[in-house]
A and B are shown apart, each in its own frame.
Chain A
Amino acid sequence: MKLIISSVSGKPIYEQIKDQIRAAVLSGELAAGEALPSLRKLAKELRVSVLTVTRAYNELADEGIVENIQGKGTFVMSRGNELMRRRARQRIRRIFDETCTAAKAADIPLLDLMTMLEESYKDRP
């Protein structure tokens, strides 16, 4: 797995780690059951603090992307598990809230918005 940390992106480091691991899991690059690097090892390799990686791993576990097993490590969960689905819905709702606020501010009617959504959805494999 590739992990790249930018120090100028303005995005907190734990979020960068989280986003990249989530993307790797969702794309299938990391398979279900696969172990993530130990968090202390990853902290050392990435030259970030242990707590930063701990936070990224804990939040990924909260999203249902990975699972922390006491004394064993952190493992990728199977895609499409219940928790992951529920969290994904919550995340999408938040993005929708933002989208709708922007649409209303620009006087874009719901029907147009739905067309835009449909196009965007169909554009993706």
Chain B
Amino acid sequence: MTTTLPTALSVTGATKRYDSGFTLEDVTFDLPAGYIMGLIGPNGAGKSTLIKLILNMIRRDAGRISVLGMDAVADEETVKERIGVVFDTSCFVETWTVGKVERVMRPMYRAWDGRAFDGYLARFGLERGRKVKELSRGMQMKLMLAVALSHDARLLILDEPTSGLDVLARDELMDILAAYIEDGEHSVIFSTHITADLERAADFITYITHGTLYFTGPKDEFEESFRVVKGGPDLPDRLPDGAVVGVHRYATGFDALVRTENLPHLPADEVVVEPASIDDIIRLTNTGRTAAGEV
């Protein structure tokens, strides 16, 4: 319904080569304004590298990234005022108090809203006198979130915000994100290993594995693109060539991930065909390479 808003985030051909040999290669995707995107992939897939590229914390080797219609490198100063960032570990000095965090952060943002910040402190039960190091992991995340939400940011970039949080804190975060995008003008990209968070909140999924983009698009489309086929130990060899994306074999049977469009007709008494969860897709696309002898 909102037609003229700029794309919240547009990544085109983003590439980063590290001396260690790891490469994030040619990643391209768009996040439309007003939606939540989940960034997923196994450890070491390149999620954090991608987030650092978006934030211009590392130099890219190729590609273009635009944030809220501005260039992530050329317009870095303006971009930083319009985004809110939450990392998986606190980025504040441990001996600072919550009050000091505000005194340090306030001058960095022209649009700093002290009343909004106070509101979040009260809502999250954060006391100004508390030191950062005295806060639990969940409270540290909420402190970063309070800062991220108190300067009129249009895009939130969250790097594993829910890791190490209990179910209540995760649920509260998802409520906050849903309310944040409700007006259709605010957007969120967050990386996570906890796929329950995605099932609930994410509109779009970007899936990275081995430094390359595997999928980007609506979450429903991602899940509907795949099926899990289960059956006896001899069956995987009878599945047509190229139909199997990944397979996990065990003594008495197998689970295979198959693209829905390639789903072969198999006798129902020999196999079980199930919808694929996000976890199934990540798990089986990462065992397939070795087990099926590809790559």
Contact = CB atoms under 8 A, between A and B. Distances in A.
Interface of A: 10, 12, 14, 40-41, 43-44, 47-52, 55, 68, 70-71
A51 B264 CA distance: 30
Contacts of B181: 40, 50
22 contacts: A14-B220, A40-B181, A40-B183, A40-B184, A43-B178, A43-B182, A44-B175, A44-B178, A47-B200, A47-B201, A49-B200, A49-B201, A50-B34, A50-B35, A50-B36, A50-B181, A50-B203, A51-B35, A51-B204, A51-B220, A52-B203, A68-B1
B239 interface: no
B233 interface: no
Contacts, number: 44
Nearest to B174: A47
B232 to A, nearest CB: 24
Contacts of A71: 1
Interface residues of B, number: 21
A44 B204 CA distance: 16
Contact of B36 (A14, A47, A49): A49
B214 to A, nearest CB: 20
Nearest to B38: A49
A69 to B, nearest CB: 10
Contact of B178 (A10, A14, A47): A47
Contacts of A14: 220
Nearest to A7: B199
A37 to B, nearest CB: 12
A51 B218 contact: yes
Contacts of B204: 51
Contacts of B219: 49, 51
A49 B219 CA distance: 9
A71 B3 CA distance: 10
The main secondary structure of chain B at its interface with chain A is: mixed
B220 A44 contact: no
A51 B202 CA distance: 9
B222 to A, nearest CB: 11
A101 to B, nearest CB: 15
Nearest to A73: B1
A67 B170 CA distance: 36
Contacts of B201: 47, 49
Given A43-B178, A50-B35, 16 more contacts: A14-B220, A40-B182, A40-B183, A44-B175, A47-B174, A47-B178, A47-B200, A49-B36, A49-B202, A49-B203, A50-B34, A50-B36, A50-B181, A51-B35, A51-B203, A52-B203
B158 to A, nearest CB: 16
Contacts of B200: 47-49
Nearest to A50: B203
Interface string B185-220: 000000000000000111110000000000000111
Which of B175, B178, B179, B204 gathers the greatest number of chain A CB atoms within 10 Å? B178
B149 to A, nearest CB: 16
A55 B202 CA distance: 14
A44 B184 CA distance: 12
B74 to A, nearest CB: 31
B226 to A, nearest CB: 14
Given A12-B220, A71-B1, A44 B179 contact: yes
B170 to A, nearest CB: 12
Contacts of B34: 40, 50
Contacts of B178: 43-44, 47
Shortest Cβ-Cβ A-B pairs, 10 listed = A51-B203, A44-B178, A49-B203, A40-B182, A50-B203, A44-B182, A51-B218, A47-B200, A49-B202, A44-B179
